[in-house]
C-alpha cells in the first residue's frame, strides 16, 4: 500500500506539489493523471525518495519512507520511466538483473528470473543477449517493465512508461500491462497525461492540476460526477466513450433475444465496440452470443447508454 498525507514539495519560491494526499490500496492500479507540469513526476519520485519532500508524510506498506535509506527503498520499489534508461553497454539480461544482483541473488536464480520475465513481457529468450541499441522502442519499453518487476517488488511506480511509443505498440503494451497487473496483483501508481490510457488502465484515477488533487475516484465516478469544471474539460468530449471501453456487453442485463436479422456480437465485446457496430450497421439492437455459441440475449443502443451510467 502507498499512502501520501499532505505532501508538499517546493523549488525555491514555486510549489511543485501543494498538499497531495492519496492512497493506493494493496494490489490496486491507480493512475496519477494531469496536464504537463502539474506535479505527477514530483509526486512519484517523492515516494522512492528520488526527491525529498518539504512537508507531509509518505508511507509504503505502513512504514514511513523517511525511515528507510533511499538505496534500500528503491530495491523494493520497482520504477519504470518513459526514457527507459537502460544501460547501453550491458546486455538485456544484465539490465533486467540489476536489482536482483544488487540484492545478491544466486546466479542460477537470476538467470531463471530473467527468462521468466522476458516471457512475461512477451520477448523471446534470445533477447537476453541483445544490447539496448538493437531494440525497437517498444521492445526497450518491455525490457524496462521487466527490469522494474525483476526483484518482484510489491510496489511499482511507473512514469509515462509507454509515452514514447507509436499508437499501435502503445495500445498493445497497455492491454498486456493491464492483463499482467490482474495476474501479478502489484500495487501500482501509474503516471500519465493521456486520458484514454488512464481510463483504460486505472482502477482509480487521481486527477491533479497545479500541484493539487482535483478528484480521486473510479473512472466511472469522475465521469458521472465531476468534482470541478476542470475534470470534464480535461477528459474531453470522448470521456464517455473511453468509459464504454472498460465494460463488456455481458456486464449489462440483456433483454429478450432480437430476431434473426440483428447483428451478432461475442460476449467479450466492449460496450464501445458494440455501440460502434450498431451505429455502423444502423441496427437498433444486437444479439449477444454466449460462451456456448447460442444467442444469450439482446442489447439496444439505449440499453448501452443507460446501462453504462449504472456501472461502477
Nearest residue (CB) to Mg ion, 41 versus 95? 41
By CB under 5 A, name the one of 41, 48, 141, 187 that touches Mg ion: 41
* Residue 122 Rama label (left phi>0; alpha psi -120 to 50; beta): left
Q: Which string of DSSP letters, residue by residue, matches 202-213?
A: -SEEEEEETTEE
| N-terminal to C-terminal alpha carbon distance within the chain | 22
For the segment 3-22, give every residue that binds ligand ADP (CB under 6 A): 11, 16
Number of amino acids touching Mg ion (CB under 5 A): 1
Neighbours of 274 (CB within 10 A): 24
What binding mask, one character per residue, do residues 189-218 give for ligand ADP by CB under 6 A, x or -?
A: ------------------------------
CB of 190 to ligand ADP, least distance (A): 13
Nearest residue (CB) to ligand ADP, 13 versus 294? 13
Nearest residue (CB) to ligand ADP, 11 versus 87? 11
**How far is the CA of 235 from the CAs of 11, 188, 222, 225, in angstroms?**
29, 22, 9, 13
- The residue range among 7-15, 37-45, 71-79, 255-263 that interacts with Mg ion, by the rule CB under 5 A, is 37-45
How far is 93 from 82, CA to CA, in rounded Å? 20
The yes or no reply on residue 288 touching ligand ADP (CB under 6 A) is: no
Which residue is listed with cell 443502443?
A: 301
Distance of CA 201 to the CA centre of its chain: 4
Phi, psi of 120 (to 5 degrees): -60, -40
What binding mask, one character per residue, do residues 20-59 give for ligand ADP by CB under 6 A, x or -?
A: --------------x-xxxxxxx-----------------
Binding site for Mg ion (CB under 5 A): 41
Binding site for ligand ADP (CB under 6 A): 11, 16, 34, 36-42
Amino acid at each position: 500500500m502507498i499512502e501520501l498525507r499532505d505532501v508538499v514539495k517546493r523549488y525555491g519560491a514555486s510549489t511543485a506539489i501543494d498538499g497531495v494526499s492519496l492512497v493506493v490500496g494493496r494490489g490496486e492500479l491507480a493512475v496519477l493523471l494531469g496536464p504537463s507540469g502539474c506535479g505527477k513526476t514530483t509526486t512519484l519520485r517523492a515516494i522512492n525518495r528520488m526527491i525529498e519532500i518539504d512537508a507531509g508524510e509518505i508511507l509504503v506498506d505502513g512504514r514511513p519512507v523517511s525511515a528507510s535509506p533511499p538505496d534500500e527503498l528503491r530495491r523494493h520499489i520497482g520504477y519504470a520511466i518513459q526514457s527507459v534508461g537502460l544501460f547501453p553497454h550491458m546486455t538485456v539480461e544484465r539490465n533486467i538483473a540489476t536489482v536482483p544482483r544488487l540484492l545478491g541473488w544466486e546466479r542460477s536464480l537470476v538467470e531463471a528470473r530473467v527468462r521468466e520475465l522476458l516471457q512475461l513481457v512477451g520477448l523471446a529468450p534470445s533477447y537476453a543477449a541483445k544490447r539496448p541499441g538493437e531494440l525497437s522502442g517498444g521492445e526497450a519499453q518491455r525490457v524496462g517493465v521487466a527490469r522494474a518487476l525483476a526483484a518482484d517488488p510489491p510496489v511499482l511506480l511507473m512514469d509515462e512508461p509507454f509515452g514514447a511509443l507509436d499508437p499501435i505498440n502503445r495500445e498493445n503494451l497497455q492491454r498486456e500491462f493491464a492483463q499482467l497487473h490482474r495476474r501479478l496483483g502489484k500495487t501500482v501508481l501509474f503516471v500519465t497525461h493521456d486520458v484514454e490510457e488512464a481510463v483504460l488502465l486505472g482502477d482509480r484515477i487521481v486527477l491533479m492540476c497545479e500541484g493539487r488533487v482535483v478528484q480521486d475516484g473510479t473512472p466511472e465516478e469522475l465521469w458521472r460526477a465531476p468534482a470541478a469544471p476542470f475534470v470534464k474539460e480535461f477528459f474531453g468530449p470522448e470521456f464517455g466513450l473511453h468509459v464504454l471501453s472498460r465494460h463488456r456487453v455481458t456486464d449489462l442485463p440483456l433483454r429478450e433475444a432480437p430476431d434473426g436479422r440483428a447483428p451478432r456480437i461475442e460476449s467479450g465485446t466492449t460496450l464501445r465496440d458494440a455501440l460502434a457496430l450498431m451505429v455502423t450497421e444502423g441496427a437498433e439492437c444486437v444479439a449477444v452470443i454466449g460462451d456456448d455459441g447460442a444467442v444469450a440475449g439482446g442489447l439496444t443502443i439505449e440499453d448501452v447508454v443507460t446501462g453504462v451510467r449504472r456501472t461502477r
